[in-house]
A = this chain, B = another copy of it.
């Protein structure tokens, strides 16, 4: 918890406004994170993954600092532009786009698009024509599959294609007059293994070579996100990732290192945010001596902590009693939904003195919380956010 967040929460409590959970996000931490990324990878352009936290204050700060933006929808493109980013600093990074949304994006000035199949290439070709924009001005990069080993938030095969297919997708784009710009991949979110980029960069360099043989000069590798934030476990610093990525780039591309992009989301805002919540109930299911405690908070899976799904993300939960004896608990949310349980397979240690009405602080909650919250499940409002 930063001093600024502590002061804010104290003032909120003094005013008697501490009803319901709130996520407080400290922009100073975001500023430091951006600076750390820029320093760790000085030749790489930073595209902030807007989906992690699209708060206008965050986007404005990053736009001022020179960040670019990776967006998932036309709404996110509009937010990035409204925050002061010029269109040449915004990519439409979703491989699943409606053709009419591609037209909208092109009309908003966007020229950089992700694809992972020929059908998506063809949408962009038709959309360029519809928007009256020369295909050659439009850059596409093809996403390839990555196994995601070492990442806490599971990576499926949802995005990307096999590297052999990527060559054909890029050739398809090239033949239709688009600018076949490069390759992207994602090593999985909350990736603790700094060497995870090595295998994907080997595939990327192979695609560069194969495309060159077909007369297509690729120039960019999008290294994706995956940079972790600190939850309970320690994670390596950004500079360690920077070093590992630079080594892998040199290993696979020699002295012809391509233009690079990173897309941090969690790593940019995760540790900037903290949720204050309240203990609603502490109870047991039977009167047996060894029965485990259930601790129910006023925030759960549907109120912003969706990433506890399958207990993937294990947040650090702090209390005012952390000096006391700890005992394992089941931690659950406040809704009448039986799946709204945060930690049960792996019990969570909390102080035995923790009581109904106590506040708890959930750290590392700046990313993937506010926008994940359900609109009104069980009548509970979505997670409030305060940016300071």
Q: Are A341 and B156 in contact (CB under 8 A)?
A: yes
Q: Are A76 and B339 in contact (CB under 8 A)?
A: no
> Looking at the complex, which one of B154, B281, B294, B374 makes contact with A339 (CB distance below 8 Å)?
B154
Q: Are B286 and A380 in contact (CB under 8 A)?
A: no
Say which size band chain A's interface belongs to.
Answer: 35 or more
Q: Are B379 and A79 in contact (CB under 8 A)?
A: yes
Main secondary structure of the interface of A (DSSP, over half): loop
What is the 8 Å Cβ interface bit string for chain A, positions 274-292, against chain B (1 contact, 0 not)? Answer: 0000101111111100000
Q: Is the CB of A15 closer than 8 A to any CB of chain B?
A: no
Cross-chain pairs A/B with CB under 8 angstroms, 23 sampled: A51-B336, A73-B380, A76-B378, A79-B379, A94-B336, A96-B281, A96-B332, A96-B334, A117-B284, A120-B281, A156-B338, A156-B339, A156-B344, A157-B285, A158-B294, A158-B332, A158-B341, A159-B338, A162-B287, A165-B284, A189-B338, A306-B374, A372-B377
| Docked complex Cα distance between A200 and B360 (Å) | 36
What is the 8 Å Cβ interface bit string for chain A, positions 73-114, against chain B (1 contact, 0 not)? Answer: 111100100000000000001111111000000000000000
| CB neighbors of B among A371-388 (8 A) | 371-382
Chain B residue at minimal CB-CB distance from A163? B286
| Docked complex Cα distance between A34 and B75 (Å) | 40
| Docked complex Cα distance between A93 and B337 (Å) | 12
Q: Are A280 and B97 in contact (CB under 8 A)?
A: yes
Other CB < 8 Å A-B pairs besides A72-B379, A156-B339, 7 of them? A51-B336, A93-B336, A157-B285, A161-B283, A309-B339, A370-B375, A371-B374
| CB neighbors of B among A145-167 (8 A) | 145, 148, 153-162, 164-165
Q: Is the CB of A212 closer than 8 A to any CB of chain B?
A: no
Given contacts A283-B117, A332-B158, contact A372 B371 (CB under 8 A): no
Q: Is the CB of A33 closer than 8 A to any CB of chain B?
A: no
Chain B residue at minimal CB-CB distance from A379? B75
